[in-house]
């Protein structure tokens, strides 16, 4: 794999602003996502991919035809175009740090923004490697433009090396994953793969087939405004009531105090005045029973408080977003086994663990396309401290190529009966 080409390709993607918008019901949620989609159509065509399409919903699909004379399963690789609205993705200015020495990386001297291994210990895994960071004023966009880089680079490598045998491979780049809509208009039938992998994980070695069950919760509190000088017995301060609601949820069941399979309530936005306050939550749990309990608890707290207040002042609106893909992947665990074996063959230690989040693959698995998640290499997603080691992107690219080869090996006439 050509390291400089990986760097150049990645930078060409991250310098295009593709931030999605959770408040816009349009699809895609931002027009600027089309800019990268159109670039990818051109690039995929230029490297020799076939059946390159861009549909009305901003999904880019392409095919690498089989180069063998017998049938093996068609597989796919998927990454998303958009970047998170949690932090700005405009005017990304990537910084390249060669031969990282294990010390602090000054992202922005003027604003004293430092990426330090004393806080982000994972950095020390990458001493001696080339690390791409932000300049401290934006996110980087490795989530998931590292994944796009790896898929395009792997397809180009396979086209340039026809001696590597592979079946038909489908690729897709989706919009609006970061706002939970990435799979909503995905045409599984058109994609035509028996299974796929999202290249959307974090550190090198991650291989995931379990994710959160997820819901969004909007808590609306209604108050009453009167002049504060004459407010006794009349004013109802919605912000005070909202604060009480927050305190009644389990204090330690929040992202900053949970790990592994532990679920949480995450208050990520508030907007309030005396007359009306809105709390925006995400609710997460790997266990479906506990997930339902979490949603019920929010409704129970609201009902209890309304009873105490003597009026229906608190309204909780819940909407499920996606479910744990484990249920759909376990029956076809050989697709995980293939990725795990390829990683081991490449000297990568597989890190098989639950995703504390979701990917397009979680929804796609329930749409009939089982879809585990593989590392893309980045760290500290959704903020100014995001970074990606180039060597991790190179390894992820090799994993894609290795999976293509492994499918042919496992499903050859000699071995296919075992699957």
Domain match, 177 and 304 both = no
Q: pTM of the prediction?
A: 0.87
Domain match, 217 and 207 both = no
Please provide the distance, in angstroms rounded to a whole number, between the alpha carbons at the two ends of the chain: 31
Domain match, 143 and 82 both = yes
**Of 19, 21, 43, 82, catalytic:** 82
Domain match, 147 and 206 both = yes
At 415, is the pLDDT very low, low, confident or very high (cuts 50, 70, 90)? low
Domain match, 18 and 54 both = yes
User: For the chain, what is the domain count?
Assistant: 2
Domain stops at, among 270, 305, 321 = 321
Domain match, 260 and 219 both = yes
CATH number for 223: 3.30.70.360
Domain match, 235 and 152 both = no
Examine the residue annotation and report whether 82 is marked as an active-site residue of this protein: yes
Q: What is the pLDDT of residue 417?
A: 47
Domain match, 193 and 225 both = no
Domain match, 132 and 142 both = yes
Domain match, 78 and 218 both = no
Nearest 5°: the CA angle 89, 93, 98 is 125
CATH number for 76: 3.40.630.10
Q: What range does the domain containing 191 cover?
A: 3-211+324-418
Examine the residue annotation and report whether 177 is marked as an active-site residue of this protein: yes
Q: Per 3-state DSSP, what percentage of the chain is helix, strand, and coil (rounded to 5)? A: 35, 25, 40
Domain stops at, among 288, 305, 321 = 321
Contacts of 55 by beta carbon, 8 Å cutoff, 6+ apart: 61, 187
Domain match, 347 and 236 both = no
Q: What is the pLDDT of residue 73?
A: 96
pLDDT over 80 (residue 414): no
At 99, is the pLDDT very low, low, confident or very high (cuts 50, 70, 90)? very high
Domain match, 287 and 338 both = no
Domain stops at, among 291, 306, 321 = 321
| Structure token pair of residue 257 | 């105090």
Contacts of 134 by beta carbon, 8 Å cutoff, 6+ apart: 92, 93, 94, 95, 107, 140, 384, 385, 386, 387
| Structure token pair of residue 76 | 């796919």
**Of 177, 200, 206, 398, catalytic:** 177
Q: What is the pLDDT of residues 53-88, one digit of tens each?
A: 999 999 999 999 999 999 999 999 999 999 999 999
Stretch 103-128: mean pLDDT, rounded? 96
Q: What is the pLDDT of residues 116-161, one digit of tens each?
A: 999 999 999 999 999 999 999 999 999 999 999 999 999 999 999 9
């Amino acid at each position: 794999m050509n390291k400089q080409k990986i760097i150049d390709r990645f930078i060409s993607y991250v310098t295009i602003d593709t931030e999605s918008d959770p408040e816009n019901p349009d699809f895609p949620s931002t027009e600027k996502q089309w800019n990268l989609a159109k670039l990818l159509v051109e690039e995929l065509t230029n490297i020799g991919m076939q059946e390159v399409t861009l549909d009305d919903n901003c999904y880019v699909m392409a095919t690498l035809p089989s180069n063998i004379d017998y049938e093996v399963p068609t597989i796919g690789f998927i990454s998303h175009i958009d970047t998170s609205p949690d932090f700005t993705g405009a005017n990304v200015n990537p910084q390249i740090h060669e031969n990282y020495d294990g010390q602090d990386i000054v992202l922005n001297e003027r604003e004293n923004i430092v990426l330090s291994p004393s806080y982000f210990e994972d950095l020390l895994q990458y001493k001696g490697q080339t690390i791409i960071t932000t300049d401290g004023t934006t996110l980087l966009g490795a989530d998931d433009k590292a994944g796009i880089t790896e898929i395009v680079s792997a397809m180009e490598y396979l086209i340039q090396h026809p001696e590597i045998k592979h079946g038909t491979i489908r690729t897709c780049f989706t919009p609006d994953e970061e706002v939970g809509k990435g799979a909503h208009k995905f045409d599984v039938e058109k994609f035509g793969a028996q299974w796929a992998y999202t290249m959307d994980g974090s550190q090198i070695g991650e291989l995931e087939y379990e994710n959160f069950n997820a819901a969004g919760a909007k808590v609306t509190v209604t108050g009453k405004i009167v002049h504060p000088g004459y407010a006794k017995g009349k004013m109802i301060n919605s912000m005070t009531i909202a604060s009480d609601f927050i305190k009644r949820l389990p204090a330690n069941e929040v992202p900053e105090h949970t790990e592994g399979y532990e679920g949480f309530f995450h208050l990520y936005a508030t907007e309030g005045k005396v007359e009306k306050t809105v709390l925006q939550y995400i609710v997460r749990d790997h266990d479906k029973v506990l997930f339902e309990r979490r949603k019920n608890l929010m409704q129970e707290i609201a009902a209890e408080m309304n009873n105490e207040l003597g009026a229906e002042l608190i309204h909780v609106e819940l909407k499920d977003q996606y479910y744990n893909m484990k249920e759909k992947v376990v029956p076809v665990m050989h697709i995980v086994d293939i990725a795990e074996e390829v990683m081991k063959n490449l000297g990568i230690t597989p890190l098989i663990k639950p995703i504390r989040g979701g990917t397009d693959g979680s929804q796609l698995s329930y749409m009939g396309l089982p879809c585990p998640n593989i590392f893309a290499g980045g760290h500290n997603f959704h903020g100014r401290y995001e970074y990606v080691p180039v060597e991790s992107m190179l390894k992820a690219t090799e994993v894609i190529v290795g999976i293509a080869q492994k499918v042919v090996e496992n499903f050859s006439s000699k071995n296919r009966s075992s699957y």
